[in-house]
Amino acid sequence: MQTTLFSSIRANTVLLLSSMLLFTVGCEDEHDDDHLEAHGFILENAGEEVYRQLEGEVSGSVPSISVGETLELTVHFLDHDGDEVEHDEDHDEDEGSLSITVADASIATVTPEEHDDADADEHEMALEIVGIAEGSTSFTLALMHGEDHADYTATNSVAITVTAAGN
């Protein structure tokens, strides 16, 4: 009796684990083409790179702004080699949106903006930073896949410095 019970449990366990493995692999293959394989990003100010974060390594810095000033930065995601990842032409509205978390929104606000350049048929992402009060804060950046999960999350916070108006 005991041998039959263990054999039955083993057979059911093998069947359950095999089913779970096939389901998991099937779901991965189904969605892999929809995910952006980003390993970092750059921020550009008027076409000039000011900040780069690639696999945890950081170079550059966001220019300081004054209270009441607005700074717009374009965002470009990078692959493992540091090359820009191109967005798919069949871009879905729910995919590839930016999620931003600001450490202290009483110092500065950071909001995502999406720009569609009609002449270039290119989807461009941008951030708008507004200086609220003198001080320092930071933000983290994530590239969302729909509303359910991030395809990429920055490993480091990006520092922002806001100076007194007129400085």
Between residues 42 and 14, which one has the greater pLDDT?
42
pTM higher than 0.85: no
Environment class of 72 (CB within 10 Å of its CB; exposed 0-12, middle 13-18, buried 19+)? middle
The contacts of residue 121 (CB under 8 Å, 6+ apart) are 89
Task: Give percent of the chain above pLDDT 70.
Answer: 66
> Are the C-beta atoms of residues 120 and 86 closer than 8 Å to each other?
no
Mean pLDDT score, 75-91: 80
Residue 81, H or E segment: none
What pLDDT score does 27 carry?
41
Q: Tens digits of per-residue pLDDT, 86-135?
A: 765 444 444 578 999 999 999 999 999 865 554 444 557 999 999 999 99
